Amino acid sequence: MSRYRVGFAMYNGKGFATHNMNLYKYAQRDPEIDMVWTTIGAGELPERYQQLPRLVGTQLALLDEAAPLLKQWDDLDAIVVEDAPRLFALMTLRKMVFDRHQRGPLLILYQDYAPLRDANLLGWYGYHTSRSSLPGRLSYAAQCWVAQHADRCILFSNWAREMMVHECGVADERAFVIKPGSDLELWHYQPRVRSDNNRPHILFVGGDFQRKGGDLLLTIFREQFAHQAELDLVTKQIDTDDLPPSVHLYTDINANDPRLRQLYAQADLFVLPTRADFSSLAAIEAMAVGLPVIISKVGGTTEIVRDGETGFLITSDDVEGLRSSLGHLLTDAALRQRMGAAGRATVEQEFNSAANVTELLTLIKEACNAGATA
């Protein structure tokens, strides 16, 4: 049996924790994979680097976090870098300079997005430099250079892959889509049965309350639905304490927390009117437990929810679209059941972590085999 020694540098930011836990869990079960695992980014900058220019300090901190992989560089068959283009660029340069006469590990870029030109999306993620400015053009060109020099680019959606190939210039044969997934050993399908006396529960899960559209949902709920439903908000950021009795706020729940699964279990529909997203694991988890989903058409979300079948797709900041979709689902339990069952079937077929991690590892093994014979 062949064995593959693979390094994983996994981004530790919001939205990735559950995905990474799922990947680690199922990759451990593959007898052909020896993992070297480290998490990177999203933490506080170490004190020893805080007096340096932020860009320099951040790069040095990344190298510290990636040290377990760098120390074993010559023994690794491949390194998977998730959502850290600067670290990937440093690894690429190392390989180009020091591994010219030997193969070195394959470098695999793994992320939910391609380099962006969309100023609106960039702004919501904290990047306010215009792509038309010189710094913006240089940043975009650098990200495309990183992607072009990856041995493989693995994206979460066809939306991201299309941009990676047609806008960034990545070779078609090196760009792949492997969708994120839900751990179906934890997230069980639960058909909803409510008596007429039980008010339906709406669930919102999003750390960044405004970017995820929580403010819009809360406003519409206050105006029209507070008398007929309950709203559970799971978030880290919210600017108001003045909530009606039918709104329940949870700010201390983390990924795969049993309390989170309980909130999904008691919910009747999931709503995420997000203004900026590349994908949505929260929506996938909602579908896994049998919830219909209302979500905005941004990034790769249109590849998760099928409009009219597993939920409703709305335009970002579309007040009337959100109001109408909520009204339909809150007043039609049979529709919720049909959409929830269809959503679960979609997750089983397309967003099953166990199957998708196997697909990812198979792609990595095939790339290693191809590289070994090149």
> Which residues, in sequence order, are CB contacts of 30 under 8 Å at separation 6+?
358, 361
The whole-model pTM stands at 0.93
**What are the tens digits of pLDDT across the range 252-268?**
998 778 899 999 999 99
Strands of the chain, DSSP E: 4-11, 33-40, 78-82, 106-111, 152-155, 175-177, 201-205, 230-234, 247-250, 269-272, 293-296, 311-314
In the numeric block, the tokens 């809150």 are attached to: 330
Architecture of the structural domain at 201-350: 3-Layer(aba) Sandwich (3.40)
Sorted by where each begins, the domain ranges of the chain are 4-181+352-373, 201-350
User: Is the model's pLDDT at 373 over the cut of 50?
Assistant: no
CA separation, residue 297 to residues 26, 177, 182, 284, 307 (Å): 30, 19, 21, 15, 10
Q: What is the mean pLDDT of the chain?
A: 91
CA dihedral 182, 188, 193, 197 (to 10 degrees): -70
Confidence grade of residue 238 (pLDDT, cut at 50, 70, 90):
confident
**What are the tens digits of pLDDT across the range 118-164?**
777 778 777 766 667 787 788 889 999 999 999 999 999 999 999 99
**What are the tens digits of pLDDT across the range 287-300?**
999 999 999 999 99
Percent of the chain with pLDDT over 90: 72
**What are the tens digits of pLDDT across the range 53-112?**
888 888 898 899 999 999 999 999 999 999 988 899 999 998 888 776 567 899 999 999
On the question of a common fold for 4-181+352-373 and 201-350, the answer reads: yes
Architecture of the structural domain at 4-181+352-373: 3-Layer(aba) Sandwich (3.40)
342 phi, psi to nearest 5 deg? -65, -35
Nearest to 206 by CA among 229, 233, 244: 233
Amino acid occupying residue 84: A
